[in-house]
Structure 1
Amino acid sequence: MLKYEAIANRLREDIQQGKYEPGQQLALEKEMCREFGVSRITIKRAVDELVKQGLVVKRRGSGTFVKTMENEDVRELSMANQFSGFAATFAGHEVKTRVLRFDIGHPSEQVAEKLQLSTEDFVYRIERVRILDGQPIVIEYTQMPIQLIPGIRQQVLETSIYRYIEQDLGLHIQSAHRSVRADMPTDREREELQIEGTLPILEVSQVAFLDDGRPFEYSVSRHRGDKSNFRSVSVR
């Protein structure tokens, strides 16, 4: 991870944890240079990263200020940019995972194309229900190339795959392409997510990439419609 990215992550965590309140000014560039022991160019790149993520705004002649957003917005933006994962996003809550499927197989043509593989390559096929404070809220269908993400075991699935990728494998998750749509749950999803009546679900399809541009994950997450919000911040 580059120095400016590490500083941006640290500042984002400070905002997420409430060290900086909405509307509060960040430390001046020269002060952050002393704190982190880096040049002003590095600090500027770190702050520009937070601007791109929609967390702070620069005011000419005044400084950089935390944008006024709900805590939930900040948390979800942090998740989208940091890929901290489900457990880290809901820190302080009881988070559990129920693994429904974990095996190895060949990807379909559609998945192979998204992961830049051939249909002869092998992928993990993972299905998990994520449970928040005793309530199942999302079922995830995930495929990952074995040669790129080796060594995944049941224990990893029950905790955090993203943490395993970054901390154990030393890889850096960089970005994701997502699409969101509303849909109706299948009978199996109604049972697993304890859905009654005609409640719709929110489906998020994602291809995630490492910092070298290689796609490492294709996933479809199906969220309970009454437990999910989609938030977006557009930055020019």
Structure 2
Amino acid sequence: MHENKYLAIYHDLVEKIRQGHWKPYDKLPSEHELAGCYHTSRETIRKALNLLSEHGYIQKMKGKGSIVLDVGKYNFPVSGLVSFKELAQNMKQPVRTIVHELEIIKPNSYLKQQLQAAGRDEIWKVIRSREIEGERIILDKDFFLKKYVPTLTKKICEDSIYEYLEKELKLHISFAKKEIFVDRVNEEDRKYLDISGYDYIVVVKNYVYLNDATLFQYTESRHRLDKFRFVDFARRK
């Protein structure tokens, strides 16, 4: 019951921060004040605040209390290999995946290089936009070698390709190499995204491997500049 209490307080504080009850760089009420507001102990409040800090909503400053951070951007993990569906489950905003293209193609010279593919290989091409809170702000361009992914459907692509690959095809997805850079917005971006006047876009290239080190997927994920911050955790050795 005690654990449920601090989680409920955490979610309530998150909602208030997202709704602008406190602006970026405002100071939260003290632990004592919050304890009175929520009719609970300071220890329960401290647990809720620790969770807020861990998830990037506040910065706890010794002697100054808790400062609200700018949460207008969505956290996109640089390290790790997660699907959009897994990310969306933590966002608590309405999300939707729109499939624009789903077809089998022969690789051109560029895809041959990216996927280490031969001319006889067939490749699934999947173009999807990701809509968050009514705005299409991510364009995912996925390419899978068909010899490892024999079947794809629109329904699978609207839900989670990775969930299908791992649960249905029993593929063991192991690791990815990533490249991040800023690119000019192109016509495809303007066609499928709500660009909102921006001239540049953040691109994340993923080269995804199975557990036997087989490269089977190449992805270009294009993100609107104002909506994401790319985060990682680093420890000095």
What TM-score do you get using the length of structure 2 for normalisation?
A: 0.64
1:189 — aligned with what? 189
The offset of 1:130, in angstroms, is 0.9
Counterpart code for 1:185: V
Counterparts in 2 of 1:234 and 1:108: CA distance versus 1, 3 Å: farther
1:90 — aligned with what? 88
Gaps of 5+ in 1: 1-17, 22-65
Q: Deviations over 1:153-196 (max 9, x none)?
A: 11111111111111111112111111111112113412422113
Distance in 1 between residues matched to 2:56 and 2:218, nearest whole Å: 26
Secondary structure of 2:100's partner? Answer: strand
User: Do the aligned partners of 1:87 and 1:95 also contact (CA within 8 Å) in 2?
Assistant: no
RMSD: 2.6
2:140 — aligned with what? 140
Secondary structure of 2:121's partner? Answer: coil
Identity of aligned residues (%): 26
Q: Deviations over 1:63-106 (max 9, x none)?
A: xxx99964159x744x842x331111121332211111111111
> How many residue pairs are counted as aligned between the two chains?
170
Counterpart code for 2:119: T
Counterpart code for 1:203: V
Distance in 2 between residues matched to 1:201 and 1:163, nearest whole Å: 28
2:123 — aligned with what? 123
User: Do the aligned partners of 2:172 and 2:211 also contact (CA within 8 Å) in 1?
Assistant: yes
Distance in 2 between residues matched to 1:165 and 1:72, nearest whole Å: 31
The offset of 1:215, in angstroms, is 1.0
Distance in 2 between residues matched to 1:233 and 1:131, nearest whole Å: 27
Extract structure 1 runs of 4+ deviating beyond 6 A. 66-69
Distance in 2 between residues matched to 1:69 and 1:112, nearest whole Å: 44
User: Do the aligned partners of 2:137 and 2:195 also contact (CA within 8 Å) in 1?
Assistant: no
Gaps of 5+ in 2: 1-6, 11-49, 58-74
Counterparts in 2 of 1:168 and 1:200: CA distance versus 1, 3 Å: same
Counterparts in 2 of 1:113 and 1:186: CA distance versus 1, 3 Å: closer
What TM-score do you get using the length of structure 1 for normalisation?
A: 0.64
Structure index of larger Rg: 2
Counterparts in 2 of 1:84 and 1:179: CA distance versus 1, 3 Å: closer
1:40 — aligned with what? none
Q: Deviations over 1:141-164 (max 9, x none)?
A: 111011101211111111111111
Larger % of strand: which?
A: 2
